[in-house]
Amino acid sequence: MKPYVRGRSIFFREVAMDDSEFITTLRHDPLKSKHLSRSLVDVEQQREFIASYLQSRTDFYFIICDWHWNKLGTVRIYDIRDDSFCWGSWILMSNAPRSSAIESALLIYDFAFFALHYERSHFDVRKANKRVVDFHLRFGANITHEDDCNYYFAYDKDKYMLARHRYLRYLP
């Protein structure tokens, strides 16, 4: 089992097989799936994906929970390249506390930069997902290139440290 990541009002726990239905439902929500890559079709396929993930030594797939163990969303670390990680599958339920977005971003960066010792992050965001694009730009990420659908970002630990200082109230 991979570690828990603890924050101020939320924590990450490793995904489990019985999270398949929750993830499938979340990824098929019309509002949430609008900017997602094509999702697994059904609960059984999601179970197979989780089973495959559980064999990985470099990837992390978390369920975001509140302190009452209520499931609020998902986030992943994957596509490891030397000293860089990609993070995504970042989906929060509509009723998640508003601070869950910023806190979960801080926690994923803290975990990857400080516990896993990566120096950089790379990720992509759909161009149409303007709120998330703006979120990453406010955090200090740089757009490195784009295609018809996506912006591709790079973000390093030094830039994160500047952003982290601005958002310390969201951390324990």
| CATH code, domain carrying 66 | 3.40.630.30
Q: For residue range 159-168, list pLDDT tens digits in order.
A: 999 999 999 9
Contact yes or no for 126/150 (Cβ under 8 A): yes
Percent of the chain with pLDDT over 70: 91
Range of the domain at 14: 5-170
Residue 104, H or E segment: helix 99-110
Total domains, the chain: 1
Q: For residue range 110-122, list pLDDT tens digits in order.
A: 999 999 999 999 9
d(CA 98, CA 133): 17
**pLDDT, position 28:** 79
pTM higher than the cut 0.85: yes
> Which token pair is 130?
């303007």
Q: For residue range 143-152, list pLDDT tens digits in order.
A: 999 999 999 9
Give 158: exposed, middle or buried? Use CB within 10 Å, 0-12, 13-18, 19+.
Answer: exposed
> Which token pair is 150?
């996506």
Mean pLDDT, the chain, rounded, equals 91
Amino acid at 33: S
Indicate if the pLDDT at residue 36 is higher than 70. no
